[in-house]
Amino acid sequence: MKILVLNSGSSSLKYEVFDLENLNVLARGIVEKIGEEGSFLRYRVNLAQRVIEETKNLVIPDHDIALKNVLNVLLDGKHGVIRDKSEVVAIGHRVVHGGETFHSTAIIDGKVIDTIRENINLAPLHNPPNLKGIEVARRIFTEALQVAVFDTAFHHSIPRKAFIYAIPLEMYQKHKIRRYGFHGTSHAYVAEKTSEYMGKPLEDLSLITVHLGNGASMAAVKNGKCVDTSMGMTPLEGLVMGTRSGDIDPALPFYMAGQLGMSYDAIENLLNRECGLRGLCGTNDMRAVVKMSKGGNEKAKLALDIYCYRIKKYIGAYTAILGGVDAIVFTAGIGENSPDVRSLSCSDLGYLGIEIDEEKNISSSGEIREISTAASRVKILVVPTNEELKIAIETKKAYARISGNR
């Protein structure tokens, strides 16, 4: 029996297949440029004796055809990992926004679908393709249990004083304008892995988790619960990101509209797609930013300094909120692979008991590793994230509840 994990984007479909019993990865891949010229399916199959990787250029007009092509690959007689689609007993879907309704993983039915649809206004770029993936999977895998795992769920433990904005309270009560937070699946996963690594119950730890990819966010985790996070009602708030501005003066859009004559759509596009690292130095690739900075590019150096300064500010704020911290955990593409970002973000924090070991920091590994000095009171860890595995774990739990196999 198998679990299929799907992450459906507007023009992409990412998938991963797990063995239900041991959650070993059997296959993974992505369909890209759905509905566009040059669409293709890239896949990787883990067989007993070898690994097969291949890219197929296909005409993929919509998500239905995309998932059917994924199924064809999984059923392939030469190197498929399933004999019949009935072997897929459960499908876990990444859903970005669960609003105030979903505090945990949900088994998908008509009511759940309706509620996800109602939350589209909270995540207009993400929930529609997530919903499309669910609808397609239900049509193709008619017998499989369908499960929704929400990016916002982990942050529902945040107290009111942290999630309500200082605007008229009716705006929250009537329109649900509040902090929701994102990347929750990743923050939850690395917090659990940190607990295992440190040999302490998660309920006894205070952690700052730092998810740094093209999108970036931080979370303060106390006694196993998220108590604050940097992203807000949308993924625009908080840290400097690849193309997003992060925290700015809320009056800036009014200035842009009134003084610069920019339209609402132009401002939204600017803040989400043309700011952050890209706006500061022309690229949102952190590897290029670091290389340019070391080569003397002043714009790149400034971008790197601003990026890490914002992280450091949140480390200080969350240390205060938590009343002390046991570990700072870096994860995701930049967090796991950029020693320069980690070094700059943790420098000169010795007065908080945070001391990074530069020699350990530059070491490379795909495993959990400790990069703090022996004298550091706070551990600094690099913990690789695995959102697909976390979704598979949640899906397996849901399947066990339904089947009675706890």
Residues forming the active site = 151
**Backbone dihedral angles phi then psi of residue 258, each to the nearest 5 degrees:** -75, -45
67 in Cβ contact with 13 (< 8 Å): yes
N residues, the chain: 406
Reading the block at residue 250, the tokens are 């809320």
77 in Cβ contact with 382 (< 8 Å): no
Distance CA 43, CA 41 (A): 6
User: Which residues lie below 8 Å from residue 229, measured CB to CB, with a gap of 6+?
Assistant: 155, 158, 179, 181, 182, 184, 187, 217, 218, 219, 220, 238
Calculate the alpha carbon distances from 138 to 21, 55, 73, 91, 132 in Å: 23, 26, 19, 9, 10
Among candidates 403, 395, 406, 404, which has minimal Cα distance to 20? 395
Q: Is the Cα torsion angle 219, 329, 390, 66 positive or negative in sign?
A: positive
What amino acid occupies position 243?
A: T
Q: How buried is 289 (Cβ within 10 angstroms: 0-12 exposed, 13-18 middle, 19+ buried)?
A: buried
